[in-house]
Amino acid sequence: MMRRNKGFILLLVLASMAILILAGTTLINIGTSEMGQARRDTDHMNAYCGAVSGAERLYAHLKSQRNQNIDWANQVSSGTVTAAGKTLATYNAAAYPISYNSAAKTGVLGIISTGISGGATSRITVKYGYTATSIGPAPVSSAGNIVLTGHLDDSNKKNPKSSSVYIEGPLLAGPGGTVTINGPTNLVTVNGGSQNNVGGISDLSFWLNEPFNTKGTSYVFSDADASGNPLGYVTKAMAEAQAGTTDKTDSKLATFYTNDINGDLVIDEKDAFIYYYTQYLDQANNLDIAPGEINYFSPVTTPASFKDHINVHGKRVKLLDIDTSSQLNKRAVPKGTEIIFVDGDLFINKTDTKWKGGAFTHTIVCTGNVDIFQPTNDANDTLAVVALGDVTICGRDTGNSQLKGNFIVYTAGNFTALMGGTSHNAIFAEGTVTIDTVDANKKNDRTMYNLLGTWTPPMGLPPGYRTIYFNFALDTSVYKTEWEMTGN
């Protein structure tokens, strides 16, 4: 009987221990779970605080930009939120325009800020009102360097001579680039400031990204394959190799519509440039700029009487090799022509068309270099030049010959302005921008103002042209501030 009781007691003890162990394990699991949940809640709270902090810090930055000229690519902020020396969260914030009313000169902007803490992410959007007197490209910008030079001749102390440069800013120099003033600094004025080492300044491209055709072949950008042979139609595997991606999905492949259009045995930027204008843009807008059409010009031999040098105060300044270029005077292009395409180098003496009688926009697209001696147009008109080569203008600041309307330039090469002239311009060069008055003649003053009127990109300007918001200022009376949680 005693043995039976002992056996029962042992079972009871073992059962009690099992219950206690199970209860302890349950309590530990509950505690661990609650601790994990508390940690996750803390991470979410810290992430939210990080997002709010990022939005507020970028707002403070924008508020400090009152009456400044800004571009949205640079309106970003990143950092950490700390307490007692401990990092609670990191954040990344960026501002972007939502709307702009050109008549009222008011708009709405958004700030998207993301906070991260542990494994938690929080994202908020805040909307603010703002004012800006106008929107348009920077008067002068470059993916490289910008060099400005005025000249002084004080050999006659009683009557010194000078030529100056005046530009309405901001001037933007791209990654690694700088804005440099040569000569007497008092002869160069940038009203609106300049910025060096501006990121994301060159977003323009003539390549057309298209999905890959998996049933056959597609065109792809490439100078040559591994053996040095030019590529035209390629297989999907070749496209993946050229794209440099391990993501094989069709939508991620870097494929393009082009081939060796100009017959130089290389598929390159020039082929994309020619295709973009003479096929894609021409067919989309019926522009008559394809080979053989009325607004397409191929290289011609210019008259022997026309010299390839311009005499600039005794100095012979070489422009183009005229034997391989086109020369267009004001009678070459019918009045009212919206766009022309020139395959080769181009020289223009003052203007290639007549501007009198009504306002219009005239765009010149060129695969080579473009040189214009004394460029002109009338008030309310826009002359736009898009070139794969260099663009050079040369002239004097006189009342009879000047750009009275807008002057817009995109060049994949360098832009050079020699001597003097007055313009309302937006100039962008992938290379170096050089503005040099050459000597101390007063007629060589170079004056560059912001564009006139409301910014409207002209036909033929490549996509991605950066714009500036002039005299920007936050204004809560324009729009009631809104905070919104947009993601976790």
Residue 214 above 60 pLDDT?
A: no
Q: Is residue 164 part of a domain?
A: yes
Shared domain check, 143 and 131: no
**Residue 221 one-letter amino acid:** F
The reported pTM is 0.73
Q: Is residue 427 part of a domain?
A: yes
State how many domains the chain has.
2
User: Would you state the pLDDT for residue 280?
Assistant: 82
User: Would you state the pLDDT for residue 453?
Assistant: 84
Residue 4 above 70 pLDDT?
A: no
Selection from 103, 47, 111 nearest residue 76 by Cα: 111
User: Would you state the pLDDT for residue 382?
Assistant: 92
Residue 259 above 80 pLDDT?
A: no
User: Would you state the pLDDT for residue 398?
Assistant: 67
Tell me the pLDDT band of 108, cut-offs 50, 70 and 90.
very high
pLDDT digits (tens, 9 = 90+) for 283-326: 889 999 988 888 888 765 444 333 444 444 344 444 444 444 56
Contacts of 426 (CB under 8 A, 6+ apart): 136, 137, 138, 139, 406, 407, 408, 409, 451, 465
Q: Is residue 237 part of a domain?
A: no
| Average of per-residue pLDDT across 114-129 | 90
- The CA distance from 248 to 239, in Å, is 10
DSSP string, 31-74: HHHHHHHHHHHHHHHHHHHHHHHHHHHHHHHHHHTTTEEE-GGG
Shared domain check, 479 and 462: no
pLDDT digits (tens, 9 = 90+) for 44-92: 888 899 999 999 999 999 999 888 778 776 788 889 988 888 888 999 9
pLDDT digits (tens, 9 = 90+) for 423-467: 999 999 999 999 998 888 878 889 999 888 888 888 888 876 777
- The CA distance from 124 to 209, in Å, is 32
- Highest mean pLDDT, choosing among 189-193, 272-276, 343-347, 386-390: 386-390
Shared domain check, 426 and 334: yes
Shared domain check, 356 and 343: yes
Shared domain check, 130 and 158: no
Q: Is residue 235 part of a domain?
A: no
Q: Is residue 254 part of a domain?
A: no
Tell me the pLDDT band of 264, cut-offs 50, 70 and 90.
low
Shared domain check, 153 and 91: no
How, if at all, do strands 339-342 and 361-366 pair?
parallel
Shared domain check, 298 and 430: yes
Q: Is residue 265 part of a domain?
A: no
Shared domain check, 451 and 378: yes
Phi, psi of 22 (to 5 degrees): -65, -45
Q: Is residue 454 part of a domain?
A: yes
Least trusted range by pLDDT, from 33-37, 340-344, 403-407, 457-461: 33-37
Percent of the chain with pLDDT over 90: 25
- The CA distance from 488 to 485, in Å, is 8
Tell me the pLDDT band of 106, cut-offs 50, 70 and 90.
very high
Shared domain check, 382 and 478: no
Shared domain check, 476 and 424: no
Shared domain check, 420 and 323: yes
Length of the chain: 488
CA within 13 Å, CB half, 208? 16
Residue 219 above 50 pLDDT?
A: no
User: Would you state the pLDDT for residue 57?
Assistant: 93
Selection from 218, 341, 231 nearest residue 279 by Cα: 341
Domain that holds residue 169: 138-203+288-466
CA within 13 Å, CB half, 269? 10
pLDDT digits (tens, 9 = 90+) for 231-256: 333 444 544 454 444 444 433 333 34
Q: Is residue 340 part of a domain?
A: yes
Shared domain check, 6 and 74: yes
